[in-house]
Amino acid sequence: MNAMKCSAVFLDRDGTLNEEKHYVHRIEEFQWIPGVLEALKLLTQNQIAIYIVTNQAGIAKGIYSEKDFHTLNQWMLSELASQGIMIEQVLYCPHHPEAIIPEYKKECECRKPGSVLIQNVFGVRQFLPQHVALIGDRNSDIEAGRSLGIRTYLVETDYGAQEKNSTMADRVVPSLKEAVEDLLSS
């Protein structure tokens, strides 16, 4: 896969783009991982569609509301746009099997390692799996990508440091920046 052939990248959020801080849902808690903005700029400059795919169990567990999530999301997208970084869409799953909020309590295929959110984008955009990559810090991210036959990168920026020894990822890299550099050079 090279920059000419890569059409889209699906990125996990917490632990991949921003520091994992136990259910990040406030702007003041959100902190970019070093090198992330540079990596996202490289993807934008190479006209690669960027999608963020995130499990948001904190909604199901009553820690924060969907409104809180959307407020943080709008701020994040605005920050990225001000840097010239374009995000196609933020896809999220608010469900969890152990939810305390009844309408969110369920087993679903949109929660990673399920891949329905990504599949839905494939249905609309008609991406070819060989032209897509998924980058995340958990093996559940990797499983979602592998189930669709797309290239996967496990970053060691959070959970990935512990999960790297048991991963099925195509590549293990220190951070998003190295994943993007590898993606663009291969």
Catalytic residue among 14, 137, 141, 158: 14
Angstrom distance (rounded) from CA 27 to CA 111:
24
Can 14 be counted among the known catalytic residues? Answer: yes
Torsion of CA 35, 38, 43, 44, to 10 degrees: 150
Largest Cα–Cα distance in the chain? Answer: 46
Angstrom distance (rounded) from CA 12 to CA 22:
15
Q: Give the gyration radius of the chain's Cα atoms.
A: 15
Catalytic residue among 12, 137, 141, 158: 12
Distances (CA, A) of 60 to 93, 106, 173, 179: 9, 9, 31, 31
Which residues make Cβ contacts (< 8 Å) with residue 24, sequence separation at least 6? 14, 18, 30, 72
Can 12 be counted among the known catalytic residues? Answer: yes
Instruction: Give the HSE-up count for residue 52: Cα atoms under 13 Å, Cβ half-sphere.
Output: 23
Q: Judging by beta carbons within 10 Å of its beta carbon (0-12, 13-18, 19+), is residue 13 exposed, middle or buried? A: buried
Active site residues: 12, 14
